[in-house]
Amino acid sequence: MITDEQFIINGLAGKKTLEGKINTPGAKNAVLKVLAASILFSDEVTISNVPDIEDVARMLELLEDLGVVVEKQDSKTYRLITSEILTHEISTEISKHLRASIVLTGPLLGRLGKVTFPHPGGCVIGKRPIDFFIEGFKILGADIKDTGSGYEIKVKKNLKGNTIFFKNASVTATENFMMAGVLAEGQTIIKNAAMEPEIVSLGEFLNECGAQITGLGTPEITITGGSLLSGKDKIYHTMPDRIAAGSFVILGALAGKKLEVTNCEPKHLESLLYSLLSAGVKMEIKKDSIIVYGRDSKLTAFDIKTHEYPGFPTDLQAPLAVLLTQSDGQSFLFETIFEGRLNYLETLGRMEADVKIIDAHRALINGPKSLKGREMESPDLRAGLAYVIAAIIASGVSTIHNVYYIDRGYEHIDKSLRAIGVDIKRV
């Protein structure tokens, strides 16, 4: 439910005083896809380490609307009973707040042979076309009708396995057609597939429950279609959120005395950690935690080009830009995934950061520059957290509106930050 809550943050004015431990929650981008995959199961799915975030709440609402019975077993564990899927229509009202709603289309089309869905919503960060989905479904034998407000997709009997080549590697499209292929006839081959850890995690769980998927973590994934899966006596444990963990590491480098990011997977953060180490950040990397010694770190400017995994994640680009405002020298930022994702830099400029937006994909940042607290409006999930980080290191008080966007992806972020010494209030 969207509210008008705000964060009021009293900044540290550049002091590096934050210390303690900050926990990495379950990954938003993993759990949403496993929730969608529940439609492929004849009986039930149990999911643990589920983050308490707005996007999960919306996805559960969508599933209940489709006929899934949702049982909350404890604060982090849900059991989904999927023996009956009652409708092929994805709710327009709920979908407009959740971009990830589109990953329900593949499982529904595979199970029911038809799906009706609206144009998906979520964050507005440039062009995010769904051409991949429309073209992919045609290749798998579906008939598609554009209704103006959305799409109606049908197959005569079952989806037919085929080869799909993505012009650009897409995480969501890879996951969607991987799930569609589970119930398609014959083999579905995805070429130029995305390789993110969340895709591997989803595929491995589906295999554990009866799917036949090979090539996970490579650019070519093969799915041999079969029957509905069974999740009885199996539990999916949601992997750590690498974007949240990476954001906390960046915060530690900027404002930490000694900050430990716990329950994370450092192997999923190699592109970020390598960049930070080369820029002068002092860190101790353990098996499932990262200790950042911000007070001992002297930040040197460096260039970043976002890229599909295992390259630098686009979702960490905005938090990293805040770090670059405090790094000595000039940095070049090149966002290759989304158009218009650099617009938040104008707000950092109003906080007196030295930033120059060259075009929709490129920017220059000069540092170090002391930031001043400001009133800000969160434009999307990732830029919203970047504003929080900027407000923490700034002097004075900052007010951040549109907290709903931040709550979509970061579990009780204000409580986590208060526990390590941030003066943040939710009002």
pTM given for the model: 0.95
Out of 60, 123, 209, 420, which one is annotated catalytic? 123
Beta-strand runs (E) in 31-142? 44-48, 69-74, 77-81, 114-118
Residues 195 and 64 in one domain: yes
333 in a structural domain: yes
Q: Which of 205, 222, 237 is the last residue of a domain?
A: 237
Q: Strands 163-165 and 150-154, how do they pair?
A: unpaired
Backbone angles phi, psi at 340, to 5 degrees: 80, 10
Domain enclosing residue 133, as ranges: 28-237
Point out which residues pair with 376 in neighbouring strands: 400
Residues 210 and 330 in one domain: no
pLDDT of residue 340: 84
- Residue holding tokens 């890229």? 307
Residues 397 and 271 in one domain: yes
Residues 12 and 148 in one domain: no
258 in a structural domain: yes
- Residue holding tokens 């008939």? 143
Beta-strand runs (E) in 94-186? 114-118, 143-146, 150-154, 163-165
State the CATH number of the domain containing residue 131. Answer: 3.65.10.10
pLDDT of residue 148: 83
**Residues comprising the chain, all counted:** 427
Q: Which of 237, 268, 289 is the last residue of a domain?
A: 237
1 in a structural domain: no
Q: Tally the domains of the chain.
A: 2
Residues 116 and 133 in one domain: yes
Which residue type occupies 381?
L
DSSP string, 319-367: HHHHHHHTSBEEEEEE--SSTTTTTTHHHHHHTT-EEEE-SSSEEEEEE
pLDDT of residue 125: 44
pLDDT of residue 2: 57
pLDDT of residue 119: 74
pLDDT of residue 124: 44
- Between CA 421 and CA 417 the distance in angstroms is 7
- Between CA 152 and CA 117 the distance in angstroms is 7
Residues 220 and 346 in one domain: no
Helix or strand (DSSP H, E) at 55: helix 54-66
Q: pLDDT tens for the chain, 427 residues: list them.
A: 556 899 999 999 999 999 999 999 999 999 999 999 999 999 999 999 999 999 999 999 999 999 999 999 999 999 999 999 999 999 988 888 787 888 999 999 999 999 998 876 545 444 446 778 889 999 999 999 988 888 999 999 899 999 999 999 999 999 999 999 999 999 999 999 999 999 999 999 999 999 999 999 999 999 999 999 999 999 999 999 999 999 999 999 999 999 999 999 999 999 999 999 999 999 999 999 999 999 999 999 999 999 999 999 999 999 999 999 999 999 999 999 988 899 999 999 999 999 999 999 999 999 999 999 999 999 999 999 999 999 999 999 999 999 999 999 999 999 999 999 999 999 9
376 in a structural domain: yes
User: Is 264 noted as a catalytic residue in this protein?
Assistant: no
Residues 155 and 261 in one domain: no
Residues 121 and 93 in one domain: yes
